[in-house]
């Protein structure tokens, strides 16, 4: 889990202190989802979540 507040981000203990996640956060625009940017930067641990959002929800 992570929490984004303005220009800062807090990663939960399950994500560890991966420096690449900090790099991905710095490259995320203010109006962009961190998840989308992380997957586009090849952070594979978030790919299953992105795939679920892409494939599962159905608009009613």
2 pLDDT more than 60:
no
End-to-end Cα separation, the chain, in angstroms: 28
Query: Is the model more confident about 43 or about 1?
Result: 43
Q: What pLDDT, in 10s, does the model give residues 6-35?
A: 677 777 777 766 677 777 877 788 788 888
Query: Is the model more confident about 24 or about 51?
Result: 51
| Rounded Cα distance, 31 and 20, in Å | 20
Domain boundaries, the chain: 2-55
Take residue 49 and report the two structure tokens written for it.
């979540």
């Amino acid at each position: 889990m992570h929490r984004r507040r303005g220009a800062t981000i807090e990663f939960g203990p399950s994500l560890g202190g991966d420096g690449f996640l900090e790099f991905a956060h710095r490259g995320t625009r203010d109006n962009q989802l961190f998840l989308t940017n992380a997957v586009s930067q090849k952070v594979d641990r978030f790919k299953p979540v992105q795939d679920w959002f892409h494939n599962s929800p159905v608009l009613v």
